[in-house]
Amino acid sequence: MTREPSNSGDNKISVAFCCLGNICRSPMAEAVLRHATSEMKLSHLIKEIDSFGTSGFHSGDGPDRRTVQTCRANGVPVNHVSRQVRLSDFERFDYIFAMDRENLEDLKYMQPRGSKSKIMLFGAYCEDARMDKIISDPYYGGPDGFQSSFRQLDHFSRTFLKKLAAGTA
């Protein structure tokens, strides 16, 4: 059972994204949310944005080159070093957004009882009925999968930020 996210009195929240290896989807999500926050002039609402993986396969690596290419092609800077989720992340972040159901279940299993993080699928912020709420892993596919992930992440980020600004996130 998670508690509602707390802002520690500063009215800013912390957000993290999680996928399997932290080289494709979650660093892209981190970059997209950071960019959208700036574009929408909502930086006053978020104190920290980060990402990590449920596995440590790629710890210390940069994002997949296709993630970097897709972000750059869409005008979004990306700069990240992969890492694995830590137990302290469940206290550090108000929201931890999973990319798919497996990541969600892994995070819920790892989450210490009573920790503050609200763990959920980032696709919960989907407002387009034509769009999939699950962000499929594009790792084994081509550039189209990365662009599809980007479109989803941009939509989910902007929806999350609108709701956050309205106090309904």
How many CB atoms lie under 10 A from the CB of residue 1?
Answer: 6
Q: Is 68 helix (H, G, I), strand (E, B) or coil?
A: helix
Residue 73 φ/ψ, nearest 5 degrees: -65, -25
* pLDDT tens by residue, 20-36: 999 999 999 999 999 99
8: its two tokens: 């520690």
Task: Please say if the pLDDT value at position 2 is more than 80.
Answer: no
Q: Report the catalytic residues.
A: 19, 25, 137
Tell me which residue of 80, 74, 43, 46 sits closest to 154, measured CA to CA.
Answer: 74
Task: Please say if the pLDDT value at position 1 is more than 80.
Answer: no
More confident call, 94 vs 5: 94
The answer, as to whether pTM is greater than 0.85, is yes
Per-residue pLDDT averaged across 92-119, rounded? 98
* pLDDT tens by residue, 70-84: 999 999 999 999 999
Percent of the chain with pLDDT over 90: 93
At residue 7 the predicted structure's pLDDT band, cuts being 50, 70 and 90, is very low
Tell me which residue of 165, 158, 168, 162 sits closest to 34, measured CA to CA.
Answer: 158
